[in-house]
C-alpha cells in the first residue's frame, strides 16, 4: 500500500510539473526611513527634479534588490522610522524622464493620473506590511505619498526586467 501511495505521489508531482512552469514571486525588501520628525523636511527633491541633490534628503526608500524579472513581485515593507508614518506605492513610469503628476495644493503625487500599481498603506513607525503585484517590464518608482514626503526625496527607482 505504501508503494502505491508513493507512486501516486510521484505521478502527481510529474503531471503537475509538466503542465506548466510555476515561478515563485520575486521578493523585494523595502525600508522606509527618515532622520526623525524633528528634522526639517526639505522640498524640491522629487523624482526628475533638475539639480537634484541627494545629500539634502532627510527621508527615503531603500529597495533590495533594485531590479527583478517581470511577473509576480512581493514587496515586504518596513517603516524603520521611530516617529513618522510612511507608506509605499508602486508607480509605473511611462516616461522615466518626466516627473510624476503632482497636486501642489495637497503637496503630493496625483495617484490617479500617475498610475498607482498597488500600495502598502500608511504604516505606523516600526510596523510592516506586504504587497504582491504582477509587474510588466519597465521602470517604476516606489514612493511615499504622505503629504510632503515625496518632494523630500521619499522615492526609489525600481526596474522590472523582461
Q: Which three cell numbers stand for residue 159?
A: 526596474
Residue 160's nearest CA partner among 59, 60, 89, 91 is 91
Q: Which tens digits make up the pLDDT trace of 98-153?
A: 999 999 999 999 999 998 999 999 999 999 999 999 999 999 999 999 999 999 99
Domain ranges of the chain: 23-161
* CATH code reported for the domain at 23-161: 2.60.40.420
Q: Using pLDDT thresholds of 50, 70 and 90, give the confidence band for residue 26.
A: very high
Distance of CA 16 to the CA centre of its chain: 32
E strand or H helix at 68: strand 67-69
pLDDT number for residue 115: 85
Band the pLDDT of 158: cuts 50, 70, 90. very high
Write the CA distances from 122 to 73, 84, 94, integer angstroms: 20, 10, 25
pLDDT at 22: 57
Say whether pLDDT at 18 is over 70: no
Mean pLDDT of the 49-71 span: 94
List % helix, strand, coil for the chain (3-state, nearest 5): 20, 40, 40
Cite the DSSP H helix spans in 96-159: 111-114
Whole-angstrom CA distances from 50 to 10, 24, 46 are 60, 39, 9
pTM of this prediction? Answer: 0.84
pLDDT of residue 39 exceeding 50: yes
Q: What is the mean pLDDT of the chain?
A: 88
Greatest mean pLDDT range, 9-13, 20-24, 78-82: 78-82
Amino acid at each position: 500500500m505504501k508503494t502505491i501511495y508513493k507512486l501516486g505521489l510521484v505521478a502527481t508531482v510529474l503531471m503537475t510539473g509538466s503542465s506548466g512552469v510555476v515561478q515563485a514571486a520575486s521578493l523585494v525588501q523595502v525600508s522606509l526611513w527618515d532622520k526623525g520628525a524633528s528634522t526639517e523636511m526639505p522640498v524640491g527633491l522629487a523624482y526628475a527634479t533638475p539639480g537634484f541633490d541627494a545629500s539634502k534628503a532627510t527621508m527615503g526608500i531603500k529597495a533590495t534588490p533594485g531590479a527583478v524579472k517581470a511577473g509576480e513581485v512581493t514587496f515586504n515593507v518596513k517603516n524603520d522610522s521611530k516617529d513618522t508614518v510612511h507608506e509605499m506605492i508602486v508607480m509605473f513610469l511611462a516616461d522615466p524622464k518626466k516627473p510624476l503628476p503632482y497636486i501642489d495644493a495637497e503637496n503630493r503625487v496625483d495617484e490617479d493620473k500617475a498610475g498607482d500599481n498597488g500600495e502598502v498603506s500608511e504604516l505606523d513607525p516600526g510596523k510592516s506590511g506586504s504587497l504582491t503585484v504582477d509587474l510588466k517590464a519597465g521602470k517604476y518608482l516606489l514612493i511615499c505619498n504622505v503629504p510632503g514626503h515625496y518632494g523630500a526625496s521619499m522615492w526609489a527607482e525600481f526596474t522590472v526586467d523582461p
